Amino acid sequence: MQPAGLAVLLVAVWCHAVPAIADVQPEQRNFEPSTDPALFAFDRGAGDGGLYTFDNLSVAQDPRAYRPDVGALDFVYHNHEEMTRYLRATTARYPNLTALYSIGKSAQGRDLWVLVVSASPYEHMLGKPDVKYIGNIHGNEAVGRELLLHLIQYLVSSYGSDPYIKWLLDNTRIHILPSLNPDGYAASKEGTCDGGQGRYNSRGFDLNRNFPDYFKQNNKRSQPETEAVKDWISKIQFVLSGSLHGGALVVSYPYDNTPNAIFHSYLSQPSLTPDDDVFKHLSLIYANNHGKMSRGVACKTASPSFENGITNGAAWYPLTGGMQDFNYVWHGCMEVTLEVSCCKFPPAYELRKYWDDNQMSMIKFLAEAHRGVQGFIMDPTGNPVERAQLKIKGRDIGFTTTKYGEFWRILLPGVYKLEVYADGFVPKDVDFMIVEQHPTLLNVTLQPAKEAAEYSASQLPGASYDRPLTPTTPIANREPARPNAANQDRLIFTS
Ligand SMILES: [Zn+2]
C-alpha cells in the first residue's frame, strides 16, 4: 500500500451518449426509482471523495494503450498484462461507463486493478449503493477472474440495449476487482483442478486467512493485498459484495468462523449471523439463477453436497481471518463467497460454459443491493450526519452513515426498528416496514443533545471525546444505538 500516493480524482462525468431506450417498467425491474426530493437535497460536492485512486491512474488512461476489439472478449485465460490491456481498452472504449483504478500492488508489484462500471463511474451517486466483486483471492482459482472480465464486457456492451442493465448501471456503482492475487495466478497452471500451487500470495500467505477476525486473534502478518482491500473498503462504503472462488460449487455465507472451532472439520456447526435470513436469501438468489448450483450435486463422490447449493461458512468448515466476515463485521457490507467451479483451473475451452452458468447469477445478485431500507440521517438544518451508528433492532451487527449521511441495509419484507446513535445528538428509534416491491426510503432527523453539545464546546479545538471508529474496531463492538421510543420519524415510502 502507498497511502501517501492517494489522490482524489476530480473528474465528474455527467454526459452520456446513450441511445434512446424504452423506459424500464417498474414491475419488470422490481424497483421504483425514488422521486423524493430529500435524495437530492445535498450538494453533490463534485469530485469530493467519491472515488479514490492512485497516481498510476494516468497510466491506466494511457491513450497509446492497446485496443483490441473488446466487443469480442475471447474465452481464454488472460495473464496480468493481457488483463491490464483489456481493462485499459475497455475504459478507452466506454469512457462514460467505466473507470479504472488500482487499490495498490501485490507483493511482487502487480497492480490490483478495479474497474468501476456505472453510469457514474467517477463519482459516487448520492443515495445509490456501491457494490463489488472480488475475484482470484486464491491465485489458482482462475474461473472467477475470467467471469469478471466477461461480466464487465457484458455490462458495458448491454447498457445501450438492455433496459435491466441500464437500470442497474444507472442506479448502482459496480466495482470489479478481477484478481486480488495476481502473483499467485502467475504461479498457477491451467488444467490443475486441485492442490495449492498458486493459491497463496508470493510470500506464501493465504489471503483469505489474512484479515482481522471477529472470533479469534489472527496473528498472521498482514499482506499488501489484504492491506489494499482493508484500505479500499474503509474508503468506499460497499453495501453488497461477492468473492469468487473455485474448487466447489456453492455459495457460502458468514460467519466463516465460530467461537468454538476446536474440532474444526470434524464437528462443524453453523455459525449464524443476526442477518442469517438475508444471507440465505442472497445466497439463494445466486444459486437459483445459476445453471446448476441449486441442484446441490457434489463435485466428487468424496465431496460434500450442499442443499440448494448454499451453506453457512462455518458449517462447511470454520476458518480464521476470512474476508467475508471482515466485510460484514467491520464495515456492514454483506459479502458472500461464490464457489463457481469444481475444478480450480479448468481448461480454457470450458470457460464459455462457466459464463453461461453464472451470467444471470452475477447480475441478479448485484441487484439485491436495492432491496431493504435506505435513506439519510440529517440534523435539523438538513445537513448530513456522518458516521452515525445504526443498527436494526435485534441484529447486533451495526453499520454507519457515509459522509453524506447515507445508509443502506438489505432486509427482507417485514417490520423493523432502526436504532440511530450519533455523537452530539439525541439517540432515536424509528419503526419502518419493508415490502417486496421496492426499497423503503427512510430519512431520519436527529435533534442535538444539549448536554453533549455543551460538553463538545468545552473541548479543545479538534479534540474528540468520541471513541474513534477505526477500521480495527468491529462495528459489532462499538457503542450500541440507544433506544428512545419517544422519537419516531414518519415513514417515507417511495412511490
Ligand atoms: Zn478459494
- pLDDT score, position 268: 78
The verdict on residue 191 lying in a domain is: yes
For 18-62, how does the pLDDT look when each residue is reduced to its tens digit (9 = 90+)?
333 333 333 333 333 333 333 322 222 333 333 333 333 333 444
CATH of the domain at 244: 3.40.630.10
- pLDDT score, position 489: 31
Count the neighbouring beta carbons within 10 Å of the beta carbon of residue 468: 7
For 158-175, how does the pLDDT look when each residue is reduced to its tens digit (9 = 90+)?
999 999 999 999 999 999
Joined together, the cell numbers standing for residue 256 give 466463516
| Shared domain check, 382 and 355 | no
- pLDDT score, position 450: 79
- Name 477's Cβ contacts closer than 8 Å, sequence gap at least 6: none
The verdict on residue 57 lying in a domain is: no
Q: Which domain holds residue 187?
A: 80-258+268-370
27 is catalytic: no
For residue 139, report the distance from its CA to the centre of ligand 1, in Å. Answer: 8
Check whether 179 has a pLDDT greater than 60.
Answer: yes
The verdict on residue 408 lying in a domain is: yes
**Ion ligand 1: residues, CB < 5 A:** 138, 141, 245
- Determine which of 9-13, 105-109, 274-278 has the lowest per-residue pLDDT on average: 9-13
Residue in the structure block whose three cell numbers are 474503509 = 234
Binned at pLDDT 50, 70 and 90, residue 267 comes out as low
| Shared domain check, 316 and 186 | yes
For residue 337, report the distance from its CA to the centre of ligand 1, in Å. Answer: 9
> How far apart (Å, rounded) are the C-alpha atoms in residues 243 and 176?
10
226 burial type by CB count under 10 A (0-12 exposed, 13-18 middle, 19+ buried): buried
Per the model's pLDDT, the better-predicted residue between 12 and 268 turns out to be 268
**Alpha helices (H) in 24-127, listed in sequence order:** 26-29, 57-60, 80-93
For residue 398, report the distance from its CA to the centre of ligand 1, in Å. Answer: 27
For 187-245, how does the pLDDT look when each residue is reduced to its tens digit (9 = 90+)?
999 999 999 999 999 999 999 999 999 999 999 999 999 999 999 999 999 999 999 99
For 249-260, how does the pLDDT look when each residue is reduced to its tens digit (9 = 90+)?
999 999 999 987
Q: If you average pLDDT over residues 131-158, what whole number do you get?
A: 98
| Shared domain check, 321 and 360 | yes
Q: If you average pLDDT over residues 139-164, what whole number do you get?
A: 97
Q: If you average pLDDT over residues 375-383, what whole number do you get?
A: 97
The verdict on residue 395 lying in a domain is: yes
| Shared domain check, 380 and 361 | no
| Shared domain check, 224 and 98 | yes
The verdict on residue 177 lying in a domain is: yes
| Shared domain check, 97 and 158 | yes
The verdict on residue 234 lying in a domain is: yes
Per the model's pLDDT, the better-predicted residue between 203 and 486 turns out to be 203
For residue 138, report the distance from its CA to the centre of ligand 1, in Å. Answer: 5
303-335 burial by CB neighbour count: b if 16+ within 10 A, else e?
A: eeebebbbbbbbbbebbbbbbbbbbbbbbbbbb
- pLDDT score, position 67: 41
The verdict on residue 52 lying in a domain is: no
Q: Which entry of 146, 225, 335, 339 is annotated as an active-site residue?
A: 339
Domain count, the chain: 2
Tell me if 316 sits within 8 A of 304, measured CB to CB: yes
Last residue of a domain, one of 452, 469, 484: 452
| Shared domain check, 412 and 277 | no
- pLDDT score, position 52: 36
For residue 247, report the distance from its CA to the centre of ligand 1, in Å. Answer: 7
> How far apart (Å, rounded) are the C-alpha atoms in residues 51 and 55?
13
Give percent helix, percent strand, percent coil of the chain, each to the nearest 5: 30, 20, 50
For residue 246, report the distance from its CA to the centre of ligand 1, in Å. Answer: 6
| Shared domain check, 378 and 273 | no
Check whether 6 has a pLDDT greater than 60.
Answer: no
| Shared domain check, 280 and 311 | yes
> How far apart (Å, rounded) are the C-alpha atoms in residues 247 and 40?
45
Q: Give 131's strand partners.
A: 174, 240
| Shared domain check, 294 and 253 | yes
Number of H helices, E strands in the chain: 12, 19
| Summary mean pLDDT of the chain | 82
Binned at pLDDT 50, 70 and 90, residue 17 comes out as very low
Is beta strand 98-105 parallel, antiparallel or unpaired with respect to 111-117? antiparallel
Q: If you average pLDDT over residues 276-282, what whole number do you get?
A: 98
25 burial type by CB count under 10 A (0-12 exposed, 13-18 middle, 19+ buried): exposed
Instruction: Measure Cα distances from 7 to 19, 48, 56, 118, 326 in Å.
Output: 33, 11, 10, 21, 26
DSSP annotation string for 315-361 = HH---SS-HHHHHHHHH--EEEEEEEESSSS--GGGHHHHHHHHHHH
Last residue of a domain, one of 350, 370, 390: 370
DSSP state of 237: -
For residue 336, report the distance from its CA to the centre of ligand 1, in Å. Answer: 12
Tell me if 422 sits within 8 A of 380, measured CB to CB: no
Of 7-16, 110-119, 476-485, the range with the highest mean pLDDT is: 110-119
The verdict on residue 323 lying in a domain is: yes
For residue 180, report the distance from its CA to the centre of ligand 1, in Å. Answer: 12
- Determine which of 64-78, 107-121, 138-152, 351-365 has the lowest per-residue pLDDT on average: 64-78
CATH of the domain at 394: 2.60.40.1120
| Shared domain check, 206 and 122 | yes
For residue 141, report the distance from its CA to the centre of ligand 1, in Å. Answer: 6
For residue 318, report the distance from its CA to the centre of ligand 1, in Å. Answer: 14
- Which amino acid, 440? T
| Shared domain check, 412 and 353 | no
Instruction: Measure Cα distances from 194 to 16, 190, 411 in Å.
Output: 45, 11, 37
Peptide bond into 349 cis (omega under 30): no
> How far apart (Å, rounded) are the C-alpha atoms in residues 282 and 267?
26
For residue 207, report the distance from its CA to the centre of ligand 1, in Å. Answer: 9
For residue 152, report the distance from its CA to the centre of ligand 1, in Å. Answer: 22
DSSP annotation string for 40-63 = G-S---TTSSS-EE-TTHHHHT-T
Q: Up-side HSE of residue 86: CA atoms within 13 Å toward CB? A: 27
